[in-house]
Amino acid sequence: MTPIEIKRYLIERKIERKIVSLRDIAIHFRMETDTVVPMLNMWTSKGKLKKYNSNPVCQKGCCKCDPAAMEAYEWIG
């Protein structure tokens, strides 16, 4: 998995839905979330990726979700 592969995946997913959870990204690349986060941080620091600390898709507010499911990203590049 490279930063370019992450970029392509996020752009592709943006067509279907704008926001992708950290968990979904990690599952797609068959990696641990801790491995994916540094590459996402790189794109975020360059202003190409927007990070949401609580997934706006989830409206429950119950705090029962996996934290990786709540952290989400949107490609804005």
What does the pLDDT profile of the chain (77 residues) look like in tens digits? 899 999 999 999 887 778 898 999 999 999 999 999 999 999 999 999 999 886 555 555 555 665 556 788 999 98
Quote the number of domains for the chain. Answer: 1
Whole-number pLDDT of residue 61 = 57
Q: Kindly list the strands in the beta sheet with 72-75, ordered across the sheet, starting from the edge strand earlier in the chain.
A: 19-21, 72-75, 49-52
Q: Are the beta carbons of 22 and 36 closer than 8 angstroms?
A: yes
Q: What pLDDT does 71 receive?
A: 86
- pTM value > 0.85: no
Closest CA to 19 of 69, 61, 63: 69
Could you tell me the CATH number of the domain that includes residue 64? 1.10.10.10
Q: What does the angle CA 19 – CA 58 – CA 45 come to, to the nearest 5 degrees?
A: 40
**Domain carrying residue 55:** 3-75
How confident is the model at residue 59, as a pLDDT?
A: 58
